[in-house]
Amino acid sequence: MSTSHGGPPGSGWLACLMLTTFVIGTDDFVTAGVLPAIAREQEVSEAAAGQLVTVFSITYAVAAPPIAVATARWPRKALIVGGLTVFALINVVTALAPSYAGLMALRVLAALVAASITPAVFATAGRLAAPERAGRAMGAVAAGLTVSLFVGVPLGSLLGTWFGWRSTFVAVAALALLVAAASSAFLPRLSGAPEIGVRERLRILTRPAVLTCVLATVMGAGGGMLTYTYIGPITRDLSGQGGWLLAVFIGVVGAAGAVGTFTGGRMTDHWGADRALVGTFALLVAATVGLAVIGLAGGGGAPVWLVAAALAVYGFAGWGFNPPMNTRALRLAGDAGTEAVALNTSGLYVGIAAAGALGGGAVALYGGTGAAMAASLVGLVTLVFMAVSVRLFPSAPAPRVTPARGRVGPRPGDPCPPPDLRPPD
């Protein structure tokens, strides 16, 4: 089958990929919205029920890289459609689970399936998109995760309130089946990675360029997600306001984040992954420093609009660096791009866990302002590390299409030949 560099014309392949990450993100995060109901029915504490979220994240972080290596040669369409179908089945069984132990085991299985699908979805978007639009495709796929936070999760929580927590997982299963059917119809056939051995894939993943990219992701998530994790105490201590305004602050971050993912993709195409990554993260650091300054200077009575404005910039930049982050990992690894994205995503989860621990200590000692200061400090260190790493290990720029012949080739002066992102015939 022959396809153009823009993917199959008139198809909904990109929408299918975005909806796939939306389903997975909703399933991951919606559990937090129904924890009280699960705890009551299963007769466990809310802290114990919260481990259903923790085990999903830990399983995903540990499993994603080896699963990506093991499934590297699998056809992409079969992996995504089959994975979504299994994902739906797991959620149906979750809705019928009679015990807490059964729920825990099923969350592990769901995480294993999610870890096999998500990196493949990002890598598929990079391969199917036109070279000059790869960043925008990455942004659209990342937007599925972002939108799940402030659309899928609230709707799932509301459904759980009306019909019980089990209905939430039934809804996720139904949506997964719909996306699987759409993907079966609209995703083009795409082979797996080139035939290179596992040892060679592992060698690529241990290159200093790839490892520094992943380390930057760990550090970036550690500083960036700290603000979101502790947005409650931060906004309360800065503005003196809580209650329903917390939902407004979270909504501001979510809406700005959705815009940021799309914009970050466009910046990646326009500036290149390296410049877009450093630029968006610099804006993120500026926002967290702004929150820290508001906390130190405002005395706990800062205007709500000022805090909301700083959070809007934070949300825009915090989710805006996702497309260049994954694009950079994909291009640095070449033939092992899917595995690099999986390793990078694992780094993201490690960073989120670190943010929880570091932010918890900062809040306990210095309150919400202390958390903003800790996020700023980690962010500044990370920004320097990112700037040095992209200079030492620049990622290959996107191939361009020569107008006269329609051939893909490197630009004059490129430091290294770019990977071939074209789908096979």
Give the highest mean pLDDT range of 54-58, 65-69, 163-167, 251-255.
163-167
User: Could you say which of 192, 225, 258 is where a domain stops?
Assistant: 192
| Rounded average pLDDT over 416-424 | 43
Do 363 and 241 lie in a common domain? yes
The domain in which residue 353 lies consists of 200-396
The residue among 280, 287, 132, 158 whose CA lies nearest residue 217 is 280
Among the candidates 166, 192, 218, a domain finishes at 192
**204 and 348 inside one domain:** yes
Q: Is residue 413 part of a domain?
A: no
Domain annotation covers residue 283: yes
Asked whether residue 404 is assigned to any structural domain, the reply reads no
Query: Where residue 184 sits, what CATH number does that domain have?
Result: 1.20.1250.20
- Percent of the chain beyond pLDDT 90? 38
Examine the domain organization and report whether 153 and 252 are in the same domain: no
Q: Same domain, yes or no, for 179 and 208?
A: no
In a domain, residue 26? The reply is: yes
Q: Is pLDDT at 418 greater than 60 in this prediction?
A: no
3-state secondary structure of 75: coil
Question: Does residue 136 lie in a domain region?
Answer: yes
> Is the domain of 132 the same as that of 214?
no
Q: Are residues 169 and 288 in the same domain?
A: no
**Residue at 161 is within a domain:** yes
Residue 408 resides in a domain: no
Q: Which parts of 71-194 fold into alpha helices (H)? A: 76-96, 100-128, 134-147, 153-163, 165-186
- Which pLDDT score, from 0 to 100, does residue 276 have? 94
264-296 confidence digits (pLDDT tens) = 999 998 999 999 999 999 999 999 999 999 999
- pLDDT score, position 413: 39
For position 196, what pLDDT does the model report?
54
Same domain for 299 and 351, yes or no, is yes
Domain closes at, from 128, 163, 192: 192
When divided into structural domains, the chain yields a total of 2
For residue 392, count other CB atoms closer than 10 A to its CB: 10
Domain-embedded: residue 218: yes
CA dihedral 104→107→111→114, nearest 10 degrees, is 170
Q: What is the CA 300 to chain-centroid distance, rounded? A: 32
The full DSSP string for 221-255 is HHHHHHHHHTHHHHHHHHHS--THHHHHHHHHHHH
214 and 153 co-located in one domain = no
pLDDT tens-digit series, residues 140-171 = 888 888 788 778 777 887 888 889 899 999 99
